Structure 1
Amino acid sequence: MTKPESAESEYDVVISGASIAGSAAAILLARRGARVALLERRSDPSAYKVLCTHSITANAYPVLDELGLVPALEKAGAVRNDARWYTRWGWIEPRPAPTGPGLPYAYNIRRSVLDPLIRSHAAETPGVDLLLGHQVTGLIDEAGRTVGVRASTPQGEREIRARLVVGADGKDSAVAKLAGIPTRQYENARFGYLAHFRDLPLHGGIGQTWFLEPDMAYAFPNDDGVTVLAVLPDKKHLPAFREDLEGSFLSFVRSLPEAPPIDSAERVSKIIGAVNYPLLSRDPTAPGIALIGDAALTGDPLWGVGCGWALQSAQWLATAVAPATTGHADLDTSLAAYARTHRRRLAPHQYLAADYAKGRRFNPMERLMFSAATRDGATARHMHLFASRLISPLQFLNPLALARAASVNLRHRRANASPAR
């Protein structure tokens, strides 16, 4: 429900940003007893993020389930995100083991559907006050810690005090900037453009990703028969690409192996993108402050992990700090626990992504794993778990997995060796 301006302005938590991360955190904290002010700078409850992969990786399925959103997503037409990946050795096509369970999944769904859905779910949650048209302009500081925010609203400036301020306001987080939290930036040597197509058939009817070393592309089927198609070339191609954006985009897609037939599909959006999209990392906490989603860590869009990590970080935060926000635990200790979880779970993934964002070709370890995954079902399933962020880089590159990949490739070379003369 939307709270009137004249109502009490004291909360347990104030969250800046009512998209995926902020709305999820508001729901989870309120269910744990916190009184939450959920601020959204835009006044339109249907507002949504336009530039996005529109995919939620399988690591976030438990969060969707806890939020109670799975039935609503399926009713809205969300597509389970099975996928296959092209490499120079062929296609990696993960399939369930003959006697095993199905592959883990979450969903592809357009943000124009997802954002209003989760925001309305938050607004209907007892204990959450959704405050539209509220933009954070300052922080309230007392004795070296943040105890609330100042916000610009359609009715003028107001102060909102709370035990905890949460920045869920994206990669350009105003909360992080106002708090003086440093940003670590990693160059992205690729640029990206995407467009939406209706009635675009894909091989197997599932998502496709092309590793062209260093160029990339992906096609993700979404709700209502709409497919998000993106290209991420090396920046050395940018000047020529921008001379004829539409022609360059279409030509790039047509040149892909098993290219989607875009000439027979209907393009239902503009071609949009970003020519400079660095990876960002920030400390996820400061005294009285927590950052979640892209405000804490903005990954490389080619991996499609942003939505999943937004949901996970919201859940980690709620689990760690809920008792403290209602006065039943120490807030600083709870924030430290959240920060440890965030770093442990995401920093290794971000390290690898930042390295690959340099625009390099596959390194020897990647060549070993990717090539073996085109030839071996178990390795392909193992790679699916990593791509879904269900296992860590250390688990992905564990000794048994590396030994299996080496054995697979050795057998392949022997089987394809020329007969001795």
Structure 2
Amino acid sequence: MTDPERGTAPEYDVVIAGASLAGCAAAILLARRGVRVALLERRSDPAAYKVLCTHSIHAAAYPVLAELGLAAALEEAGAVRNTSYWYTRWGWIEPRPGPGGAELPYAYNVRRSTLDPLIRSRAAATEGVDLLLGHRVTGLLRDGAGRISGVSAGTPDGDVEIRARLVVGADGKDSAVAKLAGVAERRHENRRFGYLAQYRDLPLKGGVGRTWFLEPDMAYAFPNEDGITVLALVLDRRTRLAAFREDLEGSFDAFLRALPEAPPIDSAERVSKIIGMIDHPLITRAPTAPGLALIGDAALTGDPLWGVGCGWAFQSAAWLAESTAPALLSRTDAGPAPLDRALARYARTHRRQLRPHQQIAVEFASSRPFNAMERLMFSAAVRDPWSARHMHRFAMRLIGPLGFLNPVAVARAAYINLTHRAGRTPEPVGVTGAR
């Protein structure tokens, strides 16, 4: 594909930097709408994958997986539907189907070694997508008005320029595209550090994932495909880090063995190294600039504790495609105005959907125990099936913080806890919209 005004310089509607989850999803969804996409990946191996990840996709992203055709493919690959139980100081929260037996909303636990090559191969096979491996973005191109109009990239064969109407940064939390564009960002300290490892033949009760809220420490056990379970610790840096630096394996194993109803690691086989990250700040960036959009971790890097990164990557890619494809396909003489309006729609959606979740995560990243409202809601969820299902919907990001703390849910939690303290069995309480 050539542009006669620029000789042999390739011309696209969109150039995406980063062929991981967000970048591949955006490329597929845009190309299906008729948009021409250059998908750049700095690594040359099409089977490359992200190693440090929770390996979990929350249910709010399921519609995007279905649209991409990945839901059925993940089922075939053995991905595990990701219901989870949560341990608290009051006992276990165990969400179960409500009256009528409707299945709880789910997405999947799946290792990135399975997921990343799968979605990248689908992007490469999508008509309208050119997957360019071994292309590392080194600069941004701008038009006469200073608007971003493409990228320069280093390749094994030399430097190239790729022009496009829109540049998309899908290149992770340390986004080179965001830095080159001078996008404003806010960094919030995370006072927890984390390590994880993979185990084979590690049974979990009922086959259901487990999360331990130990205030301020946390742990989780998520079953994945091929009989692999991911175990992770997310711990307070002030009280735990020194011991882990002195003896990583010993401290990791000892902490797991001391968990309530601990996973039986001594009868399982650890099949990976213990890997982790000591400093993982929460990063919030402006999601757009003239000629530019950011998706996935490049736009918003959440706390790994909540396992939202994969889901937000898929969702932000879908929001971008839906918002911008009509403007990108327009061949009118209206200039950049239609695309700018489309980018503004994407930015509003991104902020409205994700910023409230991020604000809560930022505050919780101070490594504090539960606050009063959290104590109310979590303790009620231990004691009340409806509250447990409500908690599940929030954990799966199907409702936001305001929906989670709506007056009906808070009133019900208060009633459940008051009757518990009085030693009485709560009477059935009707809740509008209960699921």
TM-score normalised by length of structure 2: 0.93
The answer to whether the aligner puts 1:398 opposite 2:406 as a matched pair is: yes
* Local SS of the residue matching 2:383: coil
AA aligned to 1:390 is: L
Post-superposition Cα deviations, 1:233-278, rounded to whole Å, max 9, x if no partner, equal 1001101211000000000100100000001100000000000001
The residue aligned with 1:228 is 230
Matched, 1:379 2:384: no
Aligned counterpart for 1:358 among listed residues 351, 360, 366: 366
2:9–2:161: 8 Å Cα contact kept in structure 1?
Answer: no
Matched residue, 1:368: 376
1:263 to 261, 266, 281: 266
AA aligned to 2:395 is A
Q: Find the counterpart in structure 2 of residue 287 from structure 1.
A: 290
Does residue 172 (structure 1) correspond to residue 174 (structure 2)? The answer is: yes
- 1:136-187 CA distance string (max 9 Å, x none): 0000011121000000011100000000000000000000000000220111
CA contact (8 A) 2:9 2:163 kept: no
**Cα distance in 2 for residues equivalent to 1:376 and 1:215:** 25
Q: Which residue of 2 aligns with 1:302?
A: 305
Check if 1:32 corresponds to 2:40. Answer: no
Please tell me the residue identity of whatever aligns with 1:387: A
Secondary structure of the residue that 2:43 maps to in structure 1?
A: coil
Paired letter, 1:139: L
Choose from 207, 215, 218 the match for 1:216: 218
1:133-282 matches, within 5 Å, as 133-142=134-143, 143-236=145-238, 237-282=240-285
RMSD after superposition: 1.2
Larger deviation: 22-31 or 96-105? 96-105
User: Which residue number corresponds to residue 68 of structure 2?
Assistant: 67
Structure 1 unmatched ranges of 5 or more: 1-5
Partner of 1:20: 21
Q: Secondary structure in 1 aligned to 2:422?
A: helix
Runs of 4+ in structure 1 over 6 Å off: none
- Structure 2 Cα separation of the partners of residues 160 and 333 of structure 1: 24
Aligned partner of 1:111 in structure 2 is: 112
Query: What is the alpha-carbon distance in structure 2 between the residues aligned to residue 122 and residue 353 of structure 1?
Result: 32
Is it true that 1:348 corresponds to 2:349 in the alignment? no
Identity among equivalent positions (%) equals: 73
Q: For structure 2, which runs of at least 5 residues remain unmatched after alignment?
A: 1-6, 332-336, 426-435
Per-residue CA distance 1:202-233 (angstroms, 9 max, x = gap): 12111100000000000110010000100011
Distance, in Å, in 2 between the alignment partners of 1:208 and 1:416 is 29
* 1:330 alignment partner, SS class: helix
In the alignment of these two chains, the number of paired residues is 412
Structure 1: distance between partners of 2:222 and 2:84 = 8
CA distance in 1 between counterparts of 2:284 and 2:139 reads: 22
> In structure 1, what residue type is equivalent to 2:399?
I
SS in 1 for 2:99: coil
1:327 is displaced (CA, Å) by 2.4
How much does 1:98 deviate? Answer: 2.6
Greater mean deviation of Cα atoms: 231-240 or 305-314:
231-240
Using the size of structure 1 for normalisation, the TM-score is: 0.96
